[in-house]
C-alpha cells in the first residue's frame, strides 16, 4: 500500500477567506516503510504574510516572493500523490487548503475519504490527550528537537514516525498461532516439531555425489560434522 504523509503551511486559517498555501511537504511510505521519496514545495501565495502566520512557520513575504505560484506546481503535486492514501494530522484543515488551491487552478479536488486523519487516530489511542504533533513525539520518544518552528517537510517526516507508532510500532508482531480453531475444538494450534520427520527429498545418486564432494574438502571440513550428525 502506498501512502503519502503530508503537511502544509499557510497564510492563515481560512481558505475561503483568502488565506493561501505557502508550503507543502510529503513523505512517501510503501507498506508503512519510508521509500526515501519526498515532496517539498514553497509557494508564492500572491498576498501578504500576516504576522500571526509568520510567527508560526517563519516564511516571510520576501522569502516567498520568487517562489512558484500553485498553478505552476499543481501537476507536480498531483503526480506525487496520485493513487496514494494521504496521511494528515487534522486532515480537514490541510485538505481544505489543498482543494481550494486545486479548484482555483482548474483541477479536480481530492475526495476527503482519500485521507487518513492521524489526529482522529491519536484521539482514539490516547483519549486523554494532548494529541498535537509535539505531544505525540514526546509520548513515543521521537526526537523533534529540530522543530523550532512549523515546517511542512519536517512535520511530515515527524508525523510519518508518529503514524507508524499509532498503528502498532516499528516492529510488527510475528505470530505463528493460527487464529482459527481445529474441528475437534482443541483450541488454537501452534507451530511445533513434526511428529514424524519428512522423508529425504534427494536421491541416492545425489547423496553419493555430495559425499564424494565432501571427501575432497579435507579432514577438518565442517561438512563432516554435519554429515556425522545427520547419520545418527
In this structure, the number of other CB atoms found within 10 A of the CB of residue 102 comes to 17
> What are the residues whose beta carbons fall under 8 Å from the beta carbon of 191, sequence distance 6 or more?
176, 177
* Residue 188: Cβ-neighbour burial (10 angstroms; 0-12, 13-18, 19+): exposed
Task: List beta partners, residue 103.
Answer: none
150: annotated active-site residue = yes
Residue 55 to residue 52: CA distance in whole angstroms? 5
Quickly tell me which residue has 507543502 as its cell: 24
Which run of H or E residues covers position 9? strand 2-10
Of these residues, 57, 150, 210, 225, which one is catalytic? 150
- Cα(3)–Cα(30) distance, integer angstroms: 6
Taken in order 60, 66, 70, 73, the sign of the CA dihedral is negative
The crossing angle, in degrees rounded to 10, of helices 91-104 and 70-81 is 120
Start-to-end CA distance of the chain, whole Å, equals: 49
Looking at the annotation, which residues are catalytic?
A: 150
Amino acid at each position: 500500500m502506498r501512502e503519502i504523509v503530508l503537511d502544509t503551511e499557510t497564510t492563515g486559517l481560512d481558505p475561503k477567506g483568502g488565506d493561501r498555501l505557502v508550503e507543502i511537504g510529503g513523505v512517501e511510505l510503501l507498506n508503512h516503510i519510508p521509500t526515501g521519496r519526498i515532496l517539498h514545495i514553497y509557494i508564492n501565495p500572491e498576498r501578504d504574510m500576516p504576522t500571526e502566520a509568520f510567527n508560526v512557520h517563519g516564511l516571510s513575504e520576501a522569502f516567498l516572493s520568487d517562489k512558484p505560484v500553485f498553478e505552476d506546481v499543481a501537476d507536480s503535486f498531483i503526480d506525487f500523490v496520485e493513487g496514494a492514501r494521504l496521511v494528515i494530522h487534522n486532515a480537514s484543515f490541510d485538505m481544505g487548503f489543498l482543494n481550494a488551491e486545486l479548484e482555483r487552478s482548474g483541477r479536480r479536488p481530492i475526495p476527503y475519504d482519500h485521507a487518513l486523519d492521524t489526529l482522529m487516530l491519536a484521539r482514539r489511542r490516547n483519549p486523554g490527550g494532548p494529541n498535537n504533533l509535539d505531544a505525540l513525539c514526546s509520548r513515543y520518544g521521537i526526537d523533534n528537537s529540530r522543530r523550532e518552528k512549523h515546517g511542512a517537510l519536517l512535520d511530515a517526516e515527524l508525523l510519518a514516525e508518529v503514524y507508524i507508532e499509532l498503528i502498532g510500532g516499528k516492529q510488527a508482531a510475528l505470530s505463528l498461532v493460527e487464529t482459527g480453531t481445529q474441528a475437534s475444538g482443541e483450541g488454537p494450534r501452534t507451530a511445533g516439531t513434526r511428529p514424524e520427520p519428512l522423508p529425504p527429498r534427494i536421491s541416492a545418486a545425489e547423496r553419493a555425489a555430495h559425499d564424494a564432494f565432501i571427501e575432497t574438502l579435507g579432514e577438518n571440513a565442517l561438512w563432516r560434522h554435519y554429515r556425522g550428525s545427520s547419520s545418527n
